[in-house]
């Protein structure tokens, strides 16, 4: 049993840096093409170089998604793009299409290849086939139980990567045609419209214009709206099953989400590794996972067959117990003041909470606010405005400042 890698999403350069600073061992990201998150900020080649350099300076890694299912027109630019990624210093590519795989093997033979979850690997024979094609790692489908993961581990030697946290797709490991059908946006080429989160009703052909709720609820029903995955309490079983990398979903999520979830899983993995047999999730870490924007949590397919309790039928809204209000830019010990960048409306006198990259959490009262010119202010209402306040020496750069709800 090896201590697994903690792999985090990087939807932008800022999010990637935060993920690594808050404890991720590696990040995965998408470039401007060939990935499945067309509406994320995504990375230019120069930003990928910058991200790789930032990670490697800290002994960490960067993986790039090249996991669309391409059409003929997509293939022309692929070889040059792959060579550019290799030159940028990335550690591996995430690939789902066999044609892309063969092209990568020929074009960048020294670059590591990981099989994307989009390839729907649900059995040891498929995993072994990919291993024989040169896969360093197989990202398993979300539809597997821990016991099935254990059985795959017994048959192959390649790394196994498993999703442990984040949004779940109603379609088979993300292979969906709903977006294409309803909007013309191809989810398998990165442009998913998340049709599964829409509110659906039932119609009858002889009653045009009448829409009936599928379940008795005045707000309608969300029949394909899955709860979010959370497998923190099953870390011992995942480690025992031989999982090499624990993956957090969320390239479309916020800086607050990425940093908070990564910090919580970093603590949980380290705690579990010390004594797997007696590991239980501390209540403080459960509370951390409630502070970010999320749907109610489920264990997905990991320990049992899913049922109605794993869906949310009344709303597609998110819930969270804290708002991210500011990012710490620095602390001046000479003046005792902290410089902050506003991320949500915040005002003088509010009781706040600080999470540091090292994982420390402490309460803090916002006092003696000043704008960038040193003028006293009562609030910071403008997006990403820089202001200062009486600080705390523990407020290291990139700390998150949050306001608890309720």
Could you report how far apart the first and last alpha carbons of the chain are, in Å? Answer: 42
Q: What is the pLDDT of residues 166-220, one digit of tens each?
A: 987 766 565 666 777 678 777 666 677 777 777 776 677 777 777 765 554 544 5
Which strand (E) or helix (H) includes residue 265?
helix 255-274
Helix axes 124-132, 146-155, angle to 10 degrees: 40
Superfamily of chain region 322-404: Translation factors (2.40.30.10)
Distances (CA, A) of 387 to 194, 340, 345, 380: 37, 5, 12, 7
* pLDDT the model gives residue 75: 92
String of DSSP letters for 335-356: TTEEEEEESS-EETT-EEEEE-
Task: Give the per-residue pLDDT at 21.
Answer: 98
Q: Which fold has domain 5-172+226-308?
A: TIM Barrel (3.20.20)
Report pLDDT for 37.
60
Give the model's pLDDT for residue 196: 73
Distance of CA 122 to the CA centre of its chain: 21
Common-topology check for domains 5-172+226-308 and 322-404 = no
Give the three-state DSSP class for 58.
coil
Closest CA to 292 of 222, 230, 360: 230
What pLDDT digit, counting tens, does each position of 249-277 carry? 988 899 999 999 999 999 999 999 999 99
CA angle 220, 226, 232 (to 5 degrees): 145
Domain extent listing, the chain: 5-172+226-308, 322-404
Determine the pLDDT at residue 216: 42
Q: pLDDT at position 1, please?
A: 80
pLDDT < 50 regions, the chain:
216, 218-219
238-263 burial, b at 16+ Cβ within 10 Å, e below that, comes to bbebbbbbbbbbbbbbbbbbbbbbbb
């Amino acid at each position: 049993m090896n201590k697994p890698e903690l792999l985090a999403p990087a939807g932008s350069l800022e999010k990637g840096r935060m993920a690594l600073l808050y404890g991720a061992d590696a990040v995965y990201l998408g470039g401007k093409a060939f990935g499945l998150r067309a509406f994320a900020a995504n990375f230019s080649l120069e930003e990928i170089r910058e991200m790789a350099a930032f990670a490697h300076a800290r002994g960490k890694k960067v993986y790039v998604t090249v996991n669309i299912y391409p059409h003929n027109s997509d293939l022309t630019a692929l070889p040059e793009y792959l060579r550019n990624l290799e030159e940028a210093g990335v550690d591996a590519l995430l690939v789902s299409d066999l044609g892309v795989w063969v092209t990568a093997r020929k074009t960048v033979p020294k670059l590591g290849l990981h099989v994307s979850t989009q390839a729907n690997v649900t059995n040891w024979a498929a995993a072994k086939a990919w291993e024989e094609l040169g896969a360093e790692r197989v990202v398993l489908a979300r539809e597997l139980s821990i016991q099935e993961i254990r059985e795959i581990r017994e048959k192959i030697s390649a790394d196994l990567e498993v999703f442990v946290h984040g949004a779940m797709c109603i379609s088979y490991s993300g292979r969906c045609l709903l977006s294409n059908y309803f909007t013309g946006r191809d989810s398998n080429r990165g442009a998913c419209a998340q049709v599964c989160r829409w509110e659906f009703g039932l119609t009858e052909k002889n009653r045009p214009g009448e829409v009936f709720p599928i379940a008795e609820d005045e707000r309608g029903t969300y029949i394909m709206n899955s709860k979010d995955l959370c497998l923190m309490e099953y870390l011992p079983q995942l480690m025992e099953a031989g999982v090499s990398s624990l993956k957090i979903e969320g390239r479309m999520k916020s800086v607050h989400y990425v940093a908070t979830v990564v910090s919580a899983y970093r603590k949980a993995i380290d705690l579990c590794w010390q004594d797997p047999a007696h590991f239980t999730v501390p209540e403080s870490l459960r509370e951390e996972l409630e502070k970010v924007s999320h749907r109610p949590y489920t264990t997905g397919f990991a320990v049992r067959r899913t049922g109605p309790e794993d869906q949310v039928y009344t709303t597609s809204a998110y819930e969270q117990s804290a708002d991210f209000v500011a990012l710490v830019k620095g602390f001046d010990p000479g003046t005792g003041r902290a410089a902050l960048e506003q991320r949500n409306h915040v005002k003088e006198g509010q009781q706040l909470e600080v999470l540091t990259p090292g994982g420390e959490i402490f309460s803090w009262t916002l006092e003696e606010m000043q704008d960038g010119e040193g003028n006293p202010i009562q609030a910071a209402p403008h997006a990403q405005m820089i202001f200062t306040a009486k600080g705390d020496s523990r407020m290291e750069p990139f700390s998150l400042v949050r306001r608890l709800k309720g």
